[in-house]
């Protein structure tokens, strides 16, 4: 994109004949997923009829460049045509920073410009200002596009729930550090975009854009100081249900993903040496090694939608009276790998025993399944 920035700078010099007291600064982005190939999204952007950005494709972003304060007409023309797909008139004030993005896909949401004013107070030492902008047109109605912004543990960030397409948080201040965030449904049960943990530096104003439509272009997160954030496969419910172990009779497990926490829990059922039914529980969150607080997970995670290493627990005691105490002990671990909609592997590891690998077939499926390989 250096050639784009250079072209814009040249255009700025060409426009200096306009009466202007000072410069404004503008970011420019192409976040309009209107075609199913990157080449198909190529456009030329014209400023006051001057071709300025050429061969700009979905996901391209130009950092701040200077333009004289004034009013400009900006047009977006798909490459190889003379048809103006998006047009707008913008007044830039001196000493003000702006972000301007082409958005929409022309089907679920209209093609349009989306403009933001970027000026904000400097953060305190050790902090940064962050802003979240929803520009992912994955549904045709605004209620259907609503999302929540959550931590990996499922906690809502800065009350960002019910954020619709073209909604934005405004800048808010947070401590610099490593963050594991995701874009999920309002109730947190479905993950739409799940970036890998990222370091957010101090002293900056950072905007995180949710982009893509999941139809023409994949959903993703673009950070204006970093670029596209690496993603992992969002945890969903394709693996939810009862699974049968093929080695043996009457043995299996109930696998329950917890998408809001990137976590997997469930029950492993088998028989003891005397033929009595035996039920154990497993959990990919293994904070409580002694099993004293089963179900309490200080640091959720451990399941990426395909693989999980889980603690295996055995509980004893309990009863109808309050005085009946349940004792839970960690007795081993299970490594799960979900191979597809119907197939899985489970490796059971117990102390002082060789690992045992099992193959499994899904018996019940309460949620529709998309093959994990296709989902990637």
Give the pLDDT confidence of 8-49 residue by residue, as tens digits: 444 443 343 343 446 899 999 999 999 999 999 999 999 999
pLDDT of 324-363, one tens digit each? Answer: 777 888 999 999 999 998 999 999 999 989 999 999 999 9
Phi then psi for residue 15, to 5 deg, are -95, 5
Model confidence at 3: pLDDT above 50:
no
How do residues 173-209 score in pLDDT, each as one tens digit?
999 999 989 999 998 888 899 998 899 999 999 999 9
The H-or-E segment that residue 372 falls in is: helix 372-375
Taking alpha carbons only, the member of 74, 87, 63 closest to residue 224 is: 63
Report the pLDDT averaged over residues 227-256: 90
> pLDDT at residue 1 above 60?
no
Other C-beta atoms within 10 Å of 169: how many?
A: 18
Which candidate, 64, 176, 172, 174, places its Cα nearest to that of 121? Answer: 172
Q: What average pLDDT does this structure show over 243-258?
A: 92
The rounded mean pLDDT for the chain is: 87
Residue-level pLDDT at 300: 61
Structure confidence at residue 258 as a pLDDT band (50, 70, 90): confident
* CA 291/CA 327 separation, integer angstroms: 8
Contact 134, 210 (CB under 8 A): yes
The predicted model gives 197-225 an average pLDDT of: 94
pLDDT for the residue numbered 287: 58
Reduce the DSSP state of residue 34 to 3 states and report it.
coil
pLDDT score of 2: 42
Q: Is the model's pLDDT at 323 over the cut of 80?
A: no
Could you give the percent of the chain with pLDDT greater than 90? 66
Residues 6+ apart with CB under 8 A from 104: 32, 34, 110, 111, 112, 137
Confidence of residue 114 (pLDDT cuts 50, 70, 90): very high
Find the largest Cα–Cα distance for the chain: 93
**Which is higher by pLDDT, 222 or 15?**
222
Q: Please tell me the predicted confidence (pLDDT) of residue 226.
A: 84
pLDDT of residue 6: 42
* pLDDT at residue 183 in the model: 95
For residue 372, is pLDDT > 70?
no
Cβ–Cβ under 8 Å, residues 306 and 336: no
């Amino acid at each position: 994109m250096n050639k784009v920035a250079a072209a814009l700078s040249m255009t700025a010099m060409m426009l200096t004949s306009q009466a202007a007291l000072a410069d404004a600064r503008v970011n420019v982005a192409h976040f309009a997923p209107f075609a199913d190939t990157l080449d198909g999204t190529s456009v030329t952007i014209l400023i006051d009829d001057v071709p300025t950005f050429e061969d700009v494709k979905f996901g391209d972003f130009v950092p701040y460049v200077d333009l004289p304060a004034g009013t400009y007409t900006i047009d977006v023309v798909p490459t190889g045509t003379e048809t103006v797909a998006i047009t707008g008139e913008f007044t830039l004030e001196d000493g003000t920073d702006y972000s301007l993005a082409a958005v929409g896909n022309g089907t679920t949401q209209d093609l349009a410009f989306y403009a933001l004013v970027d000026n904000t107070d400097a953060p305190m030492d050790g902090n940064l200002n962050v802003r979240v902008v929803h520009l992912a047109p994955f549904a045709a109605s605004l209620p259907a596009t609503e999302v929540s912004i959550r931590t990996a543990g499922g906690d809502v960030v800065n009350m960002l729930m019910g954020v619709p397409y073209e909604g934005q948080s405004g800048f808010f201040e947070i401590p610099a550090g490593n963050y594991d965030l995701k874009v999920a449904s309002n109730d947190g049960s479905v993950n739409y975009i799940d970036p890998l943990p990222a370091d957010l530096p101090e002293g900056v104003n950072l905007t995180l854009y949710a982009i893509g439509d999941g139809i023409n272009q994949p959903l993703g997160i673009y950070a204006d100081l970093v670029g596209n954030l690496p993603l992992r496969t969002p945890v969903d419910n394709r693996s939810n249900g009862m699974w049968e172990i093929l080695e043996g009779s009457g043995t299996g497990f109930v696998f329950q993903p917890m998408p809001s926490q990137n976590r997997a829990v469930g029950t492993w059922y088998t028989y003891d040496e005397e033929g009595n039914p035996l039920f154990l529980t497993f959990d990919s969150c293994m904070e409580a090694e002694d099993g004293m607080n089963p179900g309490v997970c200080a640091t959720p995670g451990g399941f990426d939608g395909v693989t999980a290493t889980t603690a295996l627990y055995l509980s004893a005691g309990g009863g109808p009276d309050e005085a009946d105490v349940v004792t839970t002990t960690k007795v081993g671990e299970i490594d799960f790998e979900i191979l597809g909609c119907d197939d899985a592997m489970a490796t059971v590891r117990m102390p002082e025993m060789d690992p045992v690998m099992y193959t499994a077939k899904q018996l019940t499926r309460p949620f529709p399944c998309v093959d994990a390989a296709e989902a990637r």
